[in-house]
Amino acid sequence: MDWGALHTILGGVNKHSTSIGKIWLTVLFIFRIMILVVAAERVWGDEQDDFICNTLQPGCKNVCYDHFFPISHIRLWALQLIFVSTPALLVAMHVAYRRHEKKRQFRKGDQKCEYKDIEEIRKQRFRIEGSLWWTYTSSIFCRLVFEAVFMYAFYFMYDGFRMPRLMKCNAWPCPNTVDCFVSRPTEKTVFTIFMIAVSSICILLNVAELCYLLTKFFLRRSKKAGNAKHHPNHENKEETKQNEMNELISDSCQNTVIGFSSS
């Protein structure tokens, strides 16, 4: 169980995403998760061992390290990636639910069901419209919120995105103000700026995807309104729905027998 498992889980979502969504997923896996695993973890690997304070006082180094790094960059990025990937699962669950409903209809032998076999239902790609559109849009919105929250938390906790070489610490039990030196500060700054830049690109991609979905939605609505104006003789939606409901009720009660009393 590792990032590969997350890749397997999210890979399924890819099929039902827009093109921008697919680009976002690629950026996430290549420029964030892969960089985190192959490079960043090595750079931050020895962070506490090589964090050196100019004192022999036992405990001073521990306390100063804890004071300046309440939560390590690496862990914060790992949490950010997990939280940012999770809303896509909402879409996966919705698609799975729809497939389940179609399979149920197919098994009931519903004539309205247009599939030839179960395999076709399994392979089918659902269009992003109706309730799936709302789920998809909410997932993008959640992603944006999580990205923004984590970026702000990062900025707030570390006073910016630069890693200083030297930190001055006077937390107890350090005797006076003590100089503490961070290991590989420049390399860490470079990686931090890289991860922040890729986060920003992901935010831009999410915003673009959101705008694209909203534009598509409004265009579709105006098209439907236009069609309704030009063809007023067609039944309106309400009537069609009512007719369908009536059909459903009469179909489902086919097995009940009317008019016999128990003797």
Site of interaction with other proteins (CB under 8 A): 1-3, 5-6, 9, 48-49, 57-59, 61-63, 65-66, 69-72, 74-75, 78-79, 82, 85-86, 89, 93, 97, 104, 107-109, 173, 249, 252-253, 255-262
Closer Cβ to other proteins, 130 or 173, answer by number: 173
Closest listed residue to residue 118, CA positions, set 127, 136, 105, 129: 105
Which of 14, 246 has the CB closer to other proteins?
246
79, 133, 140, 143, 220 from 129: Cα distances, Å: 31, 5, 15, 20, 10
DSSP E strands in 71-191: the ranges are 166-169, 178-181
Closer to other proteins by Cβ: residue 20 or 32: 32
CB of 59 to other proteins, least distance (A): 4
Least Å distance, CB 216 to other proteins, is: 29
Contacts of 70 (CB under 8 A, 6+ apart): 157
Q: How far is the CB of 144 from other proteins (least distance, A)?
A: 19
DSSP 226: H
Structure tokens at 70: 């309440």
Shortest gap between Cβ of 31 and other proteins (angstroms)? 17
Measured from the CB atom, is 62 or 189 closer to other proteins? 62
Quick one: which H or E segment has residue 181? Answer: strand 178-181
